[in-house]
Amino acid sequence: MAFVALDTAVRLGTDALRALGFDGSDAAIVLDHLMDCELRGLSYSGLARILSIADRFGHTPLTGADMRITRESPVSAQLDGADRIGYLVGRRATEIAVEKARTSGLAVVGANRTWYTGMLSYYAEMITGAGMVAMLASNATPWVAPYGGTEPRFGTNPICFGFPTGGEVPVIWDIGISEIIHAQAVLAHRTGRRLPPGSAYDAAGEPTDDPVAALSGAFAAWGGHRGSGLGIVVQLLGMLAGSPAAPPQLEDFGMLVLVLRPDLFGSAAEFEQRTAEFAASVRATRPVDPAVAVRMPFERSVAVRADRVAAGGIDVEPAVLEALSELTSMH
């Protein structure tokens, strides 16, 4: 791994996104999401994702079409993403949901015709920062086999919940439902690494640790039948948002954003206080290992992000740096 100063990483990422055709404001939005992944230790969804975006534009070019609302009520909206990348569509869907919830108390936004919706906790942090509760889900191209099977039937399908705590670290739980996600397999291929045992099947249904074979086969569901069932639910929520049952390769994902104000049920301040107190009680749980304290969801991310900001840089795969530099120089 190579240590890269934050300003250098931002400059490199911006140049690469601009080389792919993103204008200044869109490049900034996309890069903010990718850098947050890097700062939180999720490098497979960070700068390396720009290379996957370039691959996608190799067969389906960047579109300049405008996102548009096709259905709307005081508490809902359906957003046609116009094949724009999910970092842009997801952010807009979240902004619409927050704006409507401020007025109506709750809101739900469904977005479709998008891809790479990214890290749902990024949007949940926007929502909890506004003092509201979040539930988000996004489906994807079928890459994951249901429990007991070896063929892909649903996406890696993240689902996320967020709760405000009145200024402390929000409670955010964000998971994908497969043993590994698509970005991890792609990065393993770029860097010549193998996949963890038990995480994937090849096209013939045999277990594999070869990322190329896995990408043409299927990933295993996380948590057996539990993760498989959750993956099916998220696939259906994405369909509710407007996606087909089986979105084509990196096309027409469906994303659902639900936002509500805590004061629909009582005092928002009291709810935030009780949430913070509950979080403290979880942290105070007697640990299995005295050297490893019990944490709440999202606290690791916040701590890692703070450490990397303080260090002034991130660790990036040399192969990714080289490819990004080459991409920039070619355009």
The amino acid at residue 18 is R
| Across 235-257, average pLDDT | 98
Domain boundaries, the chain: 2-62+301-330, 68-178+221-264
What integer best gives the mean pLDDT of the chain? 97
The residues, any chain, with a CB within 8 Å of residue 296's CB and separated by 6 or more, are 169, 171, 279, 282, 283
C-alpha neighbours within 13 Å on the C-beta side of residue 237:
22
Bridge partners, residue 260, by sequence: 106, 133
Check residue 331 and give its pLDDT. Answer: 66
The C-alpha angle 51, 56, 60, rounded to 5 degrees, equals: 150
| Across 19-33, average pLDDT | 97
| Across 310-319, average pLDDT | 97
pLDDT tens digit sequence for 167-220: 899 999 999 999 999 999 999 999 999 999 999 999 999 999 999 999 999 999
User: Could you tell me which CATH number the domain at 2-62+301-330 has?
Assistant: 1.10.1530.10
221 backbone dihedrals φ, ψ, rounded to 5°? -70, 140
141 backbone dihedrals φ, ψ, rounded to 5°? -55, 140
**Alpha helices for 80-181 (secondary structure H):** 86-104, 120-129
- What's the rounded Cα separation, in Å, for the pair 252 and 268? 36
Check residue 329 and give its pLDDT. Answer: 87
pLDDT tens digit sequence for 156-173: 999 999 999 998 999 999
% of the chain exceeding 90 in pLDDT: 98
pTM over 0.85: yes
Q: Which two tokens stand for residue 55?
A: 């691959």
- What's the rounded Cα separation, in Å, for the pair 140 and 114? 9
| Across 264-288, average pLDDT | 98
Check residue 280 and give its pLDDT. Answer: 97
User: Could you tell me which CATH number the domain at 68-178+221-264 has?
Assistant: 3.30.1370.60
Please, which pLDDT band fits residue 330 given cuts at 50, 70 and 90? confident
What Å distances lie between residue 158 and 15, 27, 173, CA to CA? Answer: 29, 24, 10
| Across 283-312, average pLDDT | 97
